[in-house]
Amino acid sequence: MSFTCQSETGKLRSLLLKRVSDAWINEKLVHDQWEQLHFLSKPDLKKAVAEYSAFEAIFHNRGIEIHYLREDVSLTMDSLYCRDASIATDAGMILCNMGKQARKGEPKAEQEAFMKAGIPVLGEIAYPGTLEGGDVAWLDQHTLAVGYTYRTNLHGIGQLREMLAPLGIEVIKADLPHYRGPADVFHLMSVFSPVDKDLAVVFSPLLPIAFRNQLLDRGYRLVEVPEQEFDTMGCNVLALAPRDCLVSEGSPKTRELLERAGCYVQTYMGHEISVKGGGGPTCLTRPVLRELT
């Protein structure tokens, strides 16, 4: 069986997680940080721990190998959303340089976890470049889409291109809109989640026209998230395997559309850990290895 790190939709075999108890630590930290980090409201830590336990169990029940990030008091509550600090490639992980100042320490923390797990590191994005993993998604093994956003700048995209060019990987830039401004959590994967090699969940009102057309030209069928389910994380869908989807509860119309497209949909309660912090299942996980399909 063949495996790859350069996929968003192959059967998931290993990933990185950070438990909410290790990211949010205690009530004082939550009280001190949630507002300055632009959470929608103050999370209930006890409920969040219970939600995360059920979320984590989904991966255990499927036999997926999990590498854990440790507690680190120098980081913030945002470290729960561990996808953003790195990018997975077959040649090793790429450490990001976070566009949000409060998250600058997260890539080095992930590097320590990769070293402990024996996962190689290919390189890192350096100042003045910024790049966050939520802005990055594999379209196929040789094509990487990158959102140009307030968190990912042109210097960061340029460095990524230079790093991946020797590997024969094309980087496609998608110019995202201003939307709610620099303080909002708005990545490419806020509006685009691939769930199979020819199927993606999208929120077209905020999807760049040129990028949307590229998806159609590549043969993608688009599952259109209804406007009322965008803020409930309807467009943030993690593929556990092709057309095998994990999504936060609260988006029934999106779930119905996915099922009509031939997908199996599993949900988890994410009111505290996802909706309040603006991070669905793709944000909560850093996939490392998938089966090649």
The residue type found at 58 is I
In terms of phi and psi (left: phi > 0; alpha: psi -120 to 50; beta: otherwise), the region of 176 is: beta
Rounded distance between C-alpha atoms, residue 129 and residue 121, angstroms? 18
CATH number, residue 115: 3.75.10.10
For residue 81, the model assigns a pLDDT of 98
Name residue 121's beta-bridge partners. Answer: 93
For residue 183, the model assigns a pLDDT of 81
Lookup result for tokens 């119309």: 253
Supply the range of the domain harboring residue 50: 3-291
Burial, 222: exposed, middle or buried (Cβ in 10 Å; 0-12, 13-18, 19+)? middle
pLDDT tens string, the chain, 293 residues long: the values are 699 999 999 999 999 999 999 999 999 999 999 999 999 999 999 999 999 999 999 999 999 999 999 999 999 999 999 999 999 999 999 999 999 999 999 999 999 999 999 999 999 999 999 999 999 999 999 999 999 999 999 999 999 999 999 999 999 999 999 998 888 878 999 999 999 999 999 999 999 999 999 999 999 999 999 999 999 999 999 999 999 999 999 999 999 999 999 999 999 999 999 999 999 999 999 999 999 97
Structural domain count of the chain: 1
For residue 293, the model assigns a pLDDT of 74
For residue 192, the model assigns a pLDDT of 98
Cβ-contact 135, 151 below 8 angstroms = yes
For residue 1, the model assigns a pLDDT of 66
